[in-house]
A = this chain, B = another copy of it.
Amino acid sequence: MENIVQLAKNTSDASTMTGGQSARKVSCTSCCMRNLCIAAGTEDSFLPEIDKLVVHWHPMARGRHIFREGDEFKQPFVVRSGAVKTYQTLENGEEQITGFMLPGDVFGLEGLAALQHANGAIALETSSVCAIPLQNLFKINVEARVAERQVLMLLSESMLRKDSHAMMLAMNKAHERISAFLLDISDRLHRRGLAAHDFSLPMSRSDIGRFLGMSQETVSRAFAKLIRDKLIESNGRNIKLVNPGTLGKLSGYKLDSSFLKSA
């Protein structure tokens, strides 16, 4: 139980956060992510209350850290716009990417148990994130408990995502992993109402490689193969899924999306 007590103490000053970003008020009411974020499920009339719980940060430039490995855990975050990668540094200095966060995705909650971030998080492009000081959720009554449960929901979804990641990693052929990866991105964009078959990847080939456990050259060759087989079209980071069906059969895996239809 000390963990929780400590948590409340540590997060008592949400305005002085990692990196010293200052907070800026942007209304949840007008946020296009309001149905996917912590506010999901609450009535619109209550959104202003949620607004008080969430701290909207200034947009951050590509490459900026939101938090680093080992940083004290203060709160989780949600991506409002842009994209974020989370990673862990291996003892040999290599960077293993543990996740890519798109708008609506929550990250950083893995630090809750130890009150310390196991991952670092970096903006892949100019991004806006919202901080969710948990002590606010835990302190306030009634409706806040709704939000508290929403945290559970988000954690649960995160776990699905991580399972999905493991499934990709376990595939033995590079073009299968890439297929699954692209379909996963596509699903997530689709669920957020964005173009699902024609999009731009926010991360480098090297990032993808470190995410999928292979070299960037192999990533490149896998893309080349998918293009050759007319399953996708690609111009650098611009991707067009020409034949998602075959792509799905190729990856052979049912990604977690099937379990999140209603989300």
* CB within 8 Å for A162 and B160 given contacts A91-B253, A152-B151: no
Q: Binding site of A, secondary structure by majority: helix, strand, loop or mixed?
A: helix
Total copies of the chain: 2
Interface check A103, CB cutoff 8 A: no
Nearest CB to that of A262 among chain B residues?
B114
- A interface, how many residues as a size bin? 35 or more
Interface check A158, CB cutoff 8 A: yes
- Roughly how many angstroms separate A153 CA and B156 CA in the complex, as a whole number? 12
A258 CB, min distance to chain B CBs, angstroms: 9
User: B170 to A110, Cβ gap below 8 A?
Assistant: no
- For chain A residues 141-155, which have a beta carbon within 8 Å of chain B? 146, 148-149, 151-155
- 13 A-B Cβ contacts within 8 A? A88-B167, A90-B254, A91-B252, A91-B254, A96-B167, A110-B160, A113-B259, A114-B262, A114-B263, A138-B149, A151-B152, A155-B159, A171-B213
**14 other contacts beyond A162-B162, A170-B212, with CB at 8 A cut-off?**
A3-B153, A4-B41, A4-B149, A96-B166, A96-B253, A113-B157, A113-B160, A113-B259, A113-B260, A114-B259, A118-B256, A152-B152, A170-B213, A172-B214
